[in-house]
Structure 1
Amino acid sequence: MAILSWLAEQRIEEAMRKGEFRNLPGHGKPLELEDMTGVPEELRMSFKIMKNAGLLPEELQLRAECATLENLLAACHDGGGEKRQLGRRLTEKKLRLEELLRQRGLDGSAAFAQYGEQIRMRLDTE
């Protein structure tokens, strides 16, 4: 493994001499580090990969949709069809979320419940 590290260092130094690292996006700016303290350790790498690919786990998408529907319901002054339709959609999303969590064995996990509460609070503030 030491030879691979040495080879990588040599290539980096050569690229630096050639100026290949000049004018890169973000040059001279601080790194944007992600706070993943609320994410269970065993999920961090998979969430990071999915985030970099522009994907969200289905449970996070469902939670975001539930938060949006709850906000729409709270703002809805129409006592008629629109409110019922939003209520139905919210119920469907919540049932799907519960089923998904049950299938993954996360419905009784205290750590996941705490993580879920942190996600809900974050979605409510956005």
Structure 2
Amino acid sequence: MEFVRSIAEERIAEAIRRGELDNLPGAGQPLPPDELRNVPEDLRVGFKLLRNAGMMPEEMQLRKDMITLGDLLPVCRDEKERTKLQRELSAKRFRYQSLMSDRGWHASEAFTDYESQIRRKLTERDDS
């Protein structure tokens, strides 16, 4: 691996000497914030692979589904459909809580301190 690294560094140095890296778009600007800055470092590669493959962790999909169902409920006029959506939302919430419990969130001191804020953040609409 050291051999590959040295070749890469040599080619970068050559490109700098030739001026190929001068005046690139965004030069002198700060780097954009890392989307995964709050993900533990040892999990970032896995998250990037999943994201690039169009997949998302189950808890993120559940969160997305809960938000969608929460948006549908207030505008649903059919009582039968409303009951179905309510059941589906309850099932998603139960699965989410079960998943988080299995991962030890409920035993975490930080979770107990911030539980209400975490729940609110995970179930509110994310417009970003």
TM-score, reference length from structure 2: 0.64
Matched letter for residue 61 of structure 2: Q
**RCO comparison, higher one (Cα < 8 Å, 6+):** 1
Q: Structure 1 residues 13 and 118, CA, compared in 2 at 3 Å: closer, same or farther?
A: farther
Equivalent position of 1:28 in the other structure: 25
Q: What is the aligned residue count?
A: 119
1:32-88 deviation per Cα after TM superposition (whole angstroms, max 9, x unaligned): 432445x25356514334323322110111011011101111222x25101001001
Q: Structure 1 residues 53 and 4, CA, compared in 2 at 3 Å: closer, same or farther?
A: same
Question: For 2:93 and 2:99, how far apart are their aligned partners in 1?
Answer: 10
Gaps of 5+ in 1: 22-26
Equivalent position of 2:68 in the other structure: 68
Percent sequence identity is 33
Which shifted more, 53-62 or 102-111?
102-111
Equivalent position of 1:104 in the other structure: 103
TM-score, reference length from structure 1: 0.65
Cα deviation for residue 112 of structure 1 reads 5.3
RMSD of Structure 2 on Structure 1 (CA): 3.6
Cα deviation for residue 105 of structure 1 reads 1.9
Matched letter for residue 101 of structure 2: R
Equivalent position of 1:88 in the other structure: 87
